[in-house]
Structure 1
Amino acid sequence: MNNEIIHSVRSIYGLDISKYDISFLKRAVEKRCSITETKNISDYIQYLSSNSDEATILFQSLNIIHTEFFRNPLTFAHLEQWILPRLMEEKSDNNELRIWSAGCSSGQEVYSIAMLIESITSKKQIKKRYRIIATDISESALHAAKKGEYNEKDIQMIRVKDLNDFFVKSGEKYKVCDRLKQHVSFSTYDLLDNRSACPQESIFGNFDLVVCSNMLFYYKPNYQHNMVKKLIDSMDEHGYLITGEAEMQIVAKFKDLFLVVPPSPIFKKRRGAK
């Protein structure tokens, strides 16, 4: 079933979906079957072969990753209480804290990190320069992230103080304030693009913190390996990598590159790791 769809999408439309995990691809196709009211997979393949719009929709659906503010509370607690303060202490006043959110989707993860940094600097009464480079392959997700507007159900995990400090309510929407946005740049970037080692805006990488949550498990193992290698190469020698909980076992395989920081899916780069 999946091979037929992969072949059809590639041969007719020039889109490569072979990199995705088979079970993930199967679920995505079954969902599209339901939406398009095609009776079975064979009918959907036929429908797909004669409908370029559907091929585009299927392809885009594979690249939109669900995200939330402070999605993993334990991970963000570790960030707030330990990792971010430590990274800030190690930075001189002349150097900025550099963070890469790879697969940022619609921006909730990025703004969550920015809120933590602002809260820490305010509490400690210090000033620290920081920059978050947020990338994704989905143009529609990036558009939503840049806009920074969220509804009532989106902001449920945000503390009341943070909501008051960093958002402006406009009608039924909550807009991220410029105080956070000025530290974030959003751009299109494909982690599987072999032509570059890191996002163009970062110039040379050297990220203190890389966040790649709930994305790796959508891909086949050989692609996961290439993505993790690119992430490690982009990191400072003392950098940290954060993934989703479901991806801990994927990154744990790279024990020669990372030290696990339990119990959250946090990994510290080993000195000299390449």
Structure 2
Amino acid sequence: MNARADNEANESFEAVLRYIRDARGFDFTGYKRASLMRRVRHRMDQAGFSTFEEYLDTLQASPDEFSALFNTILINVTSFFRDPPAWDYVRDEVVPTLLAERRPNEAVRVWSAGCASGEEAYTLAMIFAEAMGVDDFRARVKIYATDVDEEALNEARAASYDAKAVEPVPAELLSRYFESVGGRYVFRKDLRRAVIFGRNDLVKDAPISRVDLLVCRNTLMYLNADTQRTVLGRLHFALAPRGVLFLGHAEMLLSHADRFTPLNLKYRIFHKVLTAGAQVDGIPAPCRSTLRPTRRGWRRSGISHSGPAPWRRSSSPAMTPSR
């Protein structure tokens, strides 16, 4: 393909993105062009189209084709306890330390950003319920789970999974937190009330605030550098002064040391950096957090944690709790 043809294809591709943004309200212009174009072409091949112009005509006439493209672009790949060693560290180090640093009745706010069909949000629910006990979990914890995909959010609210989906869940947790209904596994209704699902576009929507643990895995890697910087500013603002950010294995943040410092770089777990007088997107930061990394976790105000925490056995308008 010559340079002129390349330019024409790029212009036609940008026209597809503008249509998606203007007519459907989904702005993918901040995504990395190479991977985004590859996904759109993949869907075009499946649907039998060779040019972006032809495909744009079909998108304008077919809501079903738009849904198929949207799912191809987003690639909602998720699972319970995805990357088990990283979740083991969250269970054994992050959550016990987070709870130890808070008063017994203090609320805990968690955000699963890009939650897809809900497995990550319910993984968090199980970890916190095990660490605190079910009654304390229900009284204190709110897990906000967001995504741009309404269909995925509807699946997440239903909290119903087939046998293959729950294979990563340890047997004792499966029996404790899921009910078998018609050959499927449904997360406990009494605990689903603590998980609140809603639509949120990380690129353009306001973040949830005062978050103690923010899980945003395998999302930043698809964004270009400028959009990553914008999103990271919002995630930084979302976190409470003692907040922790948990990313995917391909996301490093090495160039954002002014905002985040690693607690465990291997598992992509970072601590929010706040300096007196600093600003995030024009918003003053109140103070510097006194948390500091240690070999096995982190320490603040003389409180430290080491060693694994055993599993404990126990008998907004757009944001809606799972039913």
Band of TM-score, shorter chain: 0.7 to 0.9
What is the correspondence of 1:64-103 to structure 2 with a 5 Å cutoff? 64-103=75-114
> Equivalent of 1:127, from 133, 136, 143?
136
Could you list the per-position Cα deviations for residues 149-173 of structure 1 after superposition, in whole angstroms to 9, with x for gaps in the alignment?
1111111110000000011111231
Alignment partner of 1:176 is 2:178: no
Which residue is equivalent to 2:273? 270
Pick the aligned partner of 1:8 from 16, 21, 39. Answer: 16
Q: 1:188 aligns with which of 196, 199, 222?
A: 199
1:224 is aligned to 2:228: yes
Do the aligned partners of residues 3 and 179 (structure 1) sit closer, same or farther apart at CA in structure 2, a change above 3 Å counting?
farther
Instruction: Look up the SS of the partner of 2:262 in the other structure.
Output: strand
1:49 matched to 2:52: no
Q: Is 1:215 paired with 2:219?
A: yes
Identity in percent: 30
Q: Is the 8 A contact 1:258 1:270 kept in 2?
A: yes
Larger helix proportion of the pair:
1
4+ aligned runs moved over 4 Å, structure 1: none
- Equivalent AA in structure 2 for residue 49 of structure 1: D
Structure 1 stretches lacking a partner, 5+ long? 200-204
Mark the CA change 1:171 to 1:56 in structure 2 (over 3 Å): closer, same or farther: closer
Show the counterpart of 2:308: none
Say whether the 8 Å CA contact 1:115–1:180 is kept in structure 2. Answer: no
> Is the Cα–Cα contact under 8 Å of residues 70 and 157 in structure 1 kept in the other structure?
yes
Shift of 1:271: 3.5
- For 2:230 and 2:17, the matched residues in 1 are separated by 23
Partner of 2:285: none
Aligned length: 260
CA distance in 2, matches of 1:210, 1:264: 14
**For the Cα contact (< 8 Å) 1:2–1:25, is it kept in 2?**
no
2:121 corresponds to 1:113: no
8 A Cα contact 2:44 2:55, kept in partner: no
Deviation at 1:50? 3.7
Determine the C-alpha separation between the residues in 2 that align with 1:83 and 1:226.
26
Identify if the C-alpha distance between structure 1 residues 5 and 79 changes in structure 2 by more than 3 Å, giving closer, same or farther.
Answer: same
Structure 1 partner of 2:310: none
1:17 aligned partner: 28
Q: Which residue is 2:237 aligned to?
A: 233
Distance 1:126 1:56, change over 3 A: closer
- CA deviation after TM superposition for structure 1 residue 120, in Å: 1.4
Task: Quickly say closer, same or farther: Cα 1:253–1:224, change in 2 above 3 A.
Answer: same
Pair 1:11–1:33, CA change in 2 (3 A): closer
C-alpha displacement of 1:79: 0.8
Q: In the alignment, is the contact (CA less than 8 A) between 1:65 and 1:215 conserved in 2?
A: no
* Cα separation, 2, equivalents of 1:258 and 1:73: 23
Q: TM-score, normalised by structure 1?
A: 0.87
Deviation for aligned residue 1:86:
0.7
Check 1:56–1:111 CA distance in 2 against 1; reply closer, same or farther (3 A cut).
closer
Farther off after superposition, 27-36 or 258-267: 27-36
CA distance in 2 between counterparts of 1:130 and 1:183 reads 6
Separation in 1 of the partners of 2:45 and 2:118? 29
- For residues 29 and 61 of structure 1, the distance between their equivalents in structure 2, rounded to whole angstroms, comes to 7
Q: In the alignment, does 2:167 pair up with 1:156?
A: yes
For 1:179 and 1:252, how far apart are their aligned partners in 2?
A: 40
In the TM superposition, residue 49 of structure 1 has moved relative to its aligned partner by 2.1
Alpha-carbon offset, residue 247 of structure 1: 1.2
How well do the aligned residues superpose, as a CA RMSD in angstroms? Answer: 2.1
Q: Show CA shifts across 1:21-46 (max 9, x none).
A: 123212312321232123x3x2x531
Structure with greater Cα Rg: 2
Deviations 1:104-139 (A, max 9, x none): 1110000001101111123xx983511101111110
* Secondary structure of the structure 1 residue equivalent to 2:165: helix
